[in-house]
Amino acid sequence: MTEHFDYDLMVIGAGSGGVRAARKSAEFGARVAVVEEAALGGTCVNVGCIPKKLYVYASEYAAAWREAQGFGWGAERITFDWATLRDNKTNEIARLNAIYQRLLEAPGVDIIEGHGVLAGPQEVVVGDSRYRAKKILLATGTWPAMPDIPGAELAITSNEIFDLPELPKRLLIIGGGYIATEFASIFAGLGTEVVQSYRGELFLRGFDRDIRLFLAEEMRKAGVDLRFDHHVTSITSSATGAVAATLSDGEEVFDAVLCATGRKPNIANLGLDHTAVTLNESGYLVVDEQFQTAEPSIYALGDMTGGWELTPVAIGEAMAFAQTQFGDTPSTMNYDNIPTAVFSQPPIGTVGLTEEEAEQRGHAVVVFESSFRPLKHTVSGSEERTLMKLVVDAETDRVLGAHMVGSDAGEICQGLGIALKMGATKADFDQTVGIHPTAAEEFVTMRVPRG
Ligand code: FAD
Ligand code: NDP
């Protein structure tokens, strides 16, 4: 007798990776269901990339308005209404949730609302219903990790920050990664007094050191109170409803404390103990290059497997998964030269190896670097500067890394990502005609190596 399966594929988690895997697999003809306990689109759409970028846009207007005066615009007082931003953001996300629903329904994916639990290698329970699937894909993402300090429960995370009832006047941000740094710039831009506390000597560990140093200087100029080698040892509630925090340098009162101290895989009550799925020492799911776990019928991808925790990476993995399993085209994800941006103000754009990584890997490197005041700011009055840096292999002339701090860094580095992926050499950069006048042209006009 043949075994009965309700689905060829059940996906748990309708975030960046889960939605793409479900859609593509269904387009290849598989019978697919996706289980989601919150809103369709996952972290990126609901409490990540999208609302974050909208808030970045919102926060840039105050500086733009100040700069506009140098170009002759009037200097009337401008006002900002937090509730308008928050509510317009919420409406836009509701629109995106509906688009995700249509994207799933069009190829025939069943959407099952609720918390998915593995009851065995080919069985998923959602509420009172039990489903059998030939293959199960886990794409449940990650969840904010809180630091082990007394009173941490009084702090908020990036999940709550978008929907605060009011704009905080004083905000303490703990952490020195992407999220902490992006929100420090966002809230400083919106007019909040921001203290960013980082435990190490320089934030954004893993990025090129010159880029980290340069951004720190620019963010301080923009008014962010960056404190490095700095610790928050406790948080208590204050009589006024605010939050008091004990810092390395004394006690201070804030309207809110944001913990942006990393994230951990979303595996609570997932039923992994009913399977042979294994975790690595950091708690991420272990998979092979086909995203297969130690349980042959169960696969996992996206943030919960660690590595590059970025939406385009989760999507790329999902495409490779669907093509391999249901599209008759065995595919793997290539993790080389993944471009990324930190949407700080000014932003970082980066692709390829940092100078430190290139040296650690044994490359003899030549570095080209240019730091300048962008044309716009010669008249705007802003003191903001831009840094661009190329890390080149001295023997092969291949560009190993391109890094930037400055306006539109993410937009510029996306294009450089193609060049690096194609193995461009410094000679190729030199032969490329610039677009004048832009900041980006500096990447093709740097001729003299750094001394
Ligand atoms: P997720 O998108 O997290 O989706 C997981 C889904 O699974 C969720 O919807 C969750 O509700 C659901 N789920 C979990 N457990 C269960 C269960 N048992 N049953 C049912 N459903 C379940 N990346 C970028 O590339 N660019 C950015 O600018 C960017 N900004 C970010 C800003 C913030 C504040 C954050 C937090 C992240 C940001 N990211 C950004 C990272 C990006 O959001 C993630 O890399 C991406 O969402 C990962 O996709 P995923 O499919 O692995 O998981
Ligand atoms: P990150 O891992 O980037 O940063 C976590 C930060 O918290 C680090 O500075 C870390 O310090 C610090 N930290 C960790 N534990 C503690 C602790 N107990 N006490 C004090 N500090 C601590 O995580 P994020 O939460 O910022 O973001 C998660 C991921 O989401 C990112 O890695 C990125 O992949 C993705 N993301 C991408 C964005 C983008 O593409 N623009 C934007 C936002 C998020 P240390 O360095 O010393 O370990």
Cβ–ligand 2 contact at 263 (below 6 Å)? yes
Residue extents of the structural domains in the chain? 7-142+264-326, 152-261, 340-444
- How far, in Å, is the centroid of ligand 2 from the Cα of 203? 10
Confidence at residue 301, expressed as pLDDT on a 0 to 100 scale: 98
What pTM value is reported for the model? 0.98
Confidence at residue 186, expressed as pLDDT on a 0 to 100 scale: 98
Ligand 2: nearest atom to the Cα of 158: 25
Q: Answer positive or negative: Cα dihedral of 395, 401, 402, 403.
A: negative
Q: Over 80: is that where the pLDDT of 241 sits? A: no
233 pLDDT tier (thresholds 50, 70, 90)? very high
Ligand 1: nearest atom to the Cα of 47: 34
Mean pLDDT of 276-285: 98
Q: What percent of the chain has pLDDT over 90?
A: 96
Predicted confidence (pLDDT) per residue in 167-197, tens digit: 999 999 999 999 999 999 999 999 999 999 9
Predicted confidence (pLDDT) per residue in 341-354, tens digit: 999 999 999 999 99
Ligand 2: nearest atom to the Cα of 200: 47
- Reduced to 3 states, what is the DSSP secondary structure of residue 137? strand
In SS3 terms, 302-366 reads as HHHHCCCCCHHHHHHHHHHHHHHHHCCCCCCCCCCCCCEEECCCCCEEEEECCHHHHHHCCCCEE
**Atom 6 in ligand 1: residue holding the nearest Cα:** 13
Cβ–ligand 2 contact at 176 (below 6 Å)? yes
Confidence at residue 391, expressed as pLDDT on a 0 to 100 scale: 98
Q: What is the rounded CA–CA span in Å between residue 72 and residue 401?
A: 39
230 pLDDT tier (thresholds 50, 70, 90)? very high
- How far, in Å, is the centroid of ligand 2 from the Cα of 260? 6
Mean pLDDT of 217-232: 97
Q: Which of the ligands is closest to the CA of residue 97?
A: 1
1 pLDDT tier (thresholds 50, 70, 90)? low
> What own/partner pairs with CB < 8 Å and gap ≥ 24 does 434-442 have?
437/375, 439/374, 439/375, 439/386, 439/388, 439/406, 439/407, 439/408, 439/412, 440/408, 440/412, 440/415, 442/370, 442/372, 442/386, 442/388
249 pLDDT tier (thresholds 50, 70, 90)? confident
Q: Do domains 7-142+264-326 and 152-261 have the same CATH topology?
A: yes
- How far, in Å, is the centroid of ligand 1 from the Cα of 274? 24
Question: For residue 126, how many other CB atoms are within 10 A of its CB?
Answer: 19
Q: Over 80: is that where the pLDDT of 240 sits? A: no
Ligand 2: nearest atom to the Cα of 178: 26
* Top-tier CATH class for 152-261: alpha beta
Q: Does residue 402 contact residue 416 with C-beta atoms inside 8 Å?
A: yes
Cβ–ligand 2 contact at 200 (below 6 Å)? yes
Rg (CA), the chain: 24
Q: What is the rounded CA–CA span in Å between residue 28 and residue 20?
A: 12
Token pair 């809230």 is found at 187
Give the full edge-to-edge strand order of the sheet including 399-405: 340-342, 348-352, 399-405, 386-393, 365-372
Q: Over 90: is that where the pLDDT of 20 sits? A: yes
Is 246 exposed, middle or buried (CB count within 10 Å of its CB: 0-12, 13-18, 19+)? middle
- How far, in Å, is the centroid of ligand 2 from the Cα of 38? 23
- For residue 448, what are its two tokens? 């003299």
Report which DSSP code applies to 297.
T
Q: Which of the ligands is closest to the CA of residue 16?
A: 1
Beta bridge partners of 298: 136
Confidence at residue 40, expressed as pLDDT on a 0 to 100 scale: 98
Tell me the pLDDT of the chain averaged across its residues. 97
246 pLDDT tier (thresholds 50, 70, 90)? confident
Mean pLDDT of 375-388: 97
* Superfamily name with CATH number, domain 7-142+264-326: FAD/NAD(P)-binding domain (3.50.50.60)
Confidence at residue 41, expressed as pLDDT on a 0 to 100 scale: 98
In SS3 terms, 35-57 reads as EECCCCCHHHHHHCHHHHHHHHH
Q: Which of 4, 115, 230, 436 is catalytic?
A: 436
Q: Over 80: is that where the pLDDT of 75 sits? A: no
Confidence at residue 63, expressed as pLDDT on a 0 to 100 scale: 95
Confidence at residue 239, expressed as pLDDT on a 0 to 100 scale: 73
Which H or E run contains 288?
A: none
Residue 284 main-chain phi, psi, to 5 deg: -85, 155
Confidence at residue 392, expressed as pLDDT on a 0 to 100 scale: 98
Q: Which of the ligands is closest to the CA of residue 311?
A: 1
**Atom 27 in ligand 1: residue holding the nearest Cα:** 49
* Top-tier CATH class for 340-444: alpha beta
Q: Does residue 169 contact residue 193 with C-beta atoms inside 8 Å?
A: yes
Cβ–ligand 2 contact at 306 (below 6 Å)? no
Q: What is the rounded CA–CA span in Å between residue 255 and residue 240?
A: 9
Predicted confidence (pLDDT) per residue in 250-274, tens digit: 999 999 999 999 999 999 999 999 9
In DSSP notation, 81-108 reads: -HHHHHHHHHHHHHHHHHHHHHHHHTTT
Q: pLDDT: is 240 or 194 the higher one?
A: 194
Q: What is the rounded CA–CA span in Å between residue 146 and residue 161?
A: 15
Q: Over 70: is that where the pLDDT of 289 sits? A: yes
Is 436 a known active-site residue? yes
Q: Is the peptide bond before 346 cis (omega within 30 degrees of 0)?
A: yes
